[in-house]
Amino acid sequence: MNISCWICSSGGLRRVLAAGLWTVAAMSAPVSAAESIGTVRYADGVASVEAADRSGDLVKGSPLYVGDLIRTGAGARLGLELSDGSVIRLGADTEFRVQDYRYVADPAGGYAVFALARGAFRALTGVLGKLDQPAFRVNTPVAAVGVRGTEFWGGFHFSRALDVAVLAGKGVWVENPAGRVEISGAGFGTTVRDGNTPPSEPKAWPAEKLGAAAKATARKN
């Protein structure tokens, strides 16, 4: 079984975390698939892609593939749209990988697994986030984020810690070897200081922090 797919299951996730293989599993990825899984909606500033079989700048309309390692430069913003309708917005100085992705329209099914190494993102899940058993995950060096039909924000923007907040929808869970929390209220968030510290108890973010998070991933024009 593909390692990314195995991580999609909660049992697989916990075994990876417990084995101390989190960083390796989160940041490794298969080679680019032959079929595009989405496109770039907009590219404001410098953004690039690196994969086993290609590399170069990203522009509006560029195709996306499994295995793509996406980087944005200083002051850049990048918008991605995936086959299931999910929309992901990346802020400046971000490193984001399409670790694994599969979408089948009829009957609807599949999974999406990404890895955030640095920077910030905002995501609105499409069909994959609305399945009976949603399979939309974002891995990071300190915790995994699982999503259920939600618009949410995450990143290493305010400090070296990971912050995650729900903006709308059903909610997310955030988990690492030290613990797990579930966030179900819009405007609530958690902080994960490192992989050995449990996510903080969810609390309402002040309007100033929510605004700063939104600004970090919003288009400048």
CA–CA distance, 193 with 73 (Å, rounded to integer)? 25
Domains of the chain (ranges; CATH) run 3-31+80-217 (2.60.120.1440)
**Mode of pairing for the β-strands spanning 69-72 and 47-50:** antiparallel
Q: How far apart are the C-alpha atoms of 168 and 165, rounded to whole Å?
A: 9
Predicted structure pTM score: 0.85
Q: Please, what's the b/e burial string for 120-136 (b: 16 or more CB within 10 A of its CB; e: otherwise)?
A: bbbbbbbbbbbbeebbb
Query: What pLDDT, on the 0 to 100 scale, is given for residue 2?
Result: 41
Residue pLDDT tens, the chain, 221 long: 343 443 444 444 444 444 333 443 444 444 334 799 999 999 999 999 999 888 999 999 999 999 999 999 999 999 999 999 999 999 999 999 999 999 998 888 999 999 999 999 999 999 998 887 878 999 999 999 999 889 999 999 999 999 999 999 999 999 999 999 999 999 999 999 999 999 999 999 999 999 999 999 999 86
